[in-house]
Chains A and B, each alone.
Chain A
């Protein structure tokens, strides 16, 4: 089922949590709402669920207006960051809850409930935990049970609020891959909120990057990463180095390299370069930025070098471990920086 969000605005006192949000969730896709904390992504998710009401705007579920529908009637599944499992019920009863509270005439028989719950527990691979209580489970298990519980009511939409936020890195990585596989299996339209760009890039079909209650960009992970629509998106999706430059006839020059700035008028420009898109060289080319290698940090497969430039700025350069070793780079050595790739944005601050 598709969701259409039209002009949603939500204010908490003087704080504008959502400012005229427009977006469409396509049927069957897995969409990520990505942004820093306080950007309004969770509020938007709760508005879609009906746990929060918008001050203005419209929400359409499969073309029909659901703006004023009660959370009970929306038939959504919601997965909370802190699981929100019913602590006094067993895993089985937790998953069965949504079926048991149905009115008599639509409530499945006890045998049917049992069958469905076990089917769901098998889907999340935790059938053996049916008789345990939530407190007896690990964080990752709890979240999988919460997911099974949400799926039990056969929701038209699955909404996940920072589903892996409370878990440690290893479990997180494992679970998000699992979520992706699960989604490929059940294909329910899903929206999940995260502040972790890696998670969004890895799991989502499309990403909505949000900032300060507004949508910055909507696109596939590739689009968002390779063609960030704004400096904010660029910075949020990874580490950056910032250079100041000027645009001249559609081109900006940094360190002797020319980068396209199509459609931009001649003015000051901000040029962003990712640390892994800078080459180190011992020979000076025209315009290359000279610097001196400061700190060197080994980050597993990659090595991060801090290069101090002549005007006392620090540029981060990331090299593959092998390249670093082959280059025999030394701390204190004089080097030249050559960016391979860059994003140019108009600098409105000048």
Chain B
């Protein structure tokens, strides 16, 4: 009789299959994720720190960084508000057209960003539907900051809501009802009961939305007009520099985005870990009873 512990036949694979699968996955990750990341920094620092820093403090680069930050600073709070409101409505209430709303929220995920940008040009461009009216009133949206914010809003639309809907649905509305019976107003219920329960999911959604807002290229590219020092965000600035064979400059700016990605990743892991730890602690305590 064999003394080896019996393993489940379903997940039993010969060692070389395991190694092959793991190896393929690791090679893939290395080639397509790690090497590019390293090469961004390698290229950026190719000609030394001084040139790297010079490329970053260049006027146009600074203006691009500023615009990116401003765009995110406007788009993220707006989407946060919208996302929470939409998730609240969808998860806690039943109404007609609910499934349509859910589908609509997902739309930006399924539409190409370029198409999203074009839609705004068609609406607000000088030959667009509202173009003449906007011109009469001297409001510039396309090839200006408002257009960039709009395009960014569009592409980051689903992140917060998507993150919150399943969470809020799982939590149900018992606690909110309990709060209301105890005399809390809608506002008090939201701040004291709903928000604390969703804070980790919310933060997670915001982090993802922020990463997307700062890194968005397609939609912003269509509406921006690529005016240096005015309507260039970091990704657009990188493209321009690259096309001008200014590789150090391009990669230096790209490295900011790469750093942002790393910070996002770290934050994301931290939030996940924190949320996980909260539920783990709760579960462990419940099991200990």
Contacts and interface: CB of A to CB of B under 8 A. Distances in A.
Contacts of A77: 181
Contacts of B289: 136-138
A220 to B, nearest CB: 29
A135 B183 contact: no
B196 interface: yes
18 contacts: A51-B181, A71-B177, A72-B183, A75-B183, A76-B181, A78-B177, A78-B181, A80-B178, A84-B174, A84-B175, A84-B177, A87-B282, A101-B179, A101-B182, A101-B185, A135-B281, A136-B285, A138-B289
B197 interface: yes
A97 B182 contact: yes
A82 interface: yes
A78 B176 CA distance: 12
Given A85-B178, A101-B192, A135-B286, 17 more contacts: A51-B180, A71-B181, A72-B180, A72-B181, A84-B174, A84-B175, A84-B177, A87-B175, A88-B196, A97-B184, A101-B184, A101-B188, A135-B283, A136-B282, A136-B289, A146-B178, A153-B182
Interface in A252-266: none
B167 interface: no
B180 A71 contact: yes
On chain A, which size bracket covers the interface? 20 to 34
B193 interface: yes
Contacts of A84: 174-175, 177-178
A84 to B, nearest CB: 4
A268 B197 CA distance: 61
Residue with the highest number of chain A CB atoms closer than 10 Å, among B178, B188, B282: B178
Interface of B: prevailing SS: helix
> Which of A85, A101, A153 counts the most chain B CB atoms within 10 A?
A101
A194 to B, nearest CB: 19
Given A133-B285, A136-B285, A97 B179 contact: yes
Contacts, number: 74
Contact of A80 (B174, B285, B286): B174
A75 B182 CA distance: 8
Nearest to B286: A135
A86 interface: yes
Contact of A136 (B182, B196, B286): B286
Given A135-B283, A135-B286, A72 B184 contact: yes
Counting from the closest, the 10 A-B pairs by CB-CB distance are A135-B282, A98-B182, A84-B174, A136-B285, A101-B184, A84-B178, A78-B181, A88-B196, A138-B289, A101-B188
Contacts of A87: 175, 197, 282
Given A87-B197, A97-B192, A135-B282, A102 B177 contact: no
A135 B174 CA distance: 16
Nearest to B289: A138
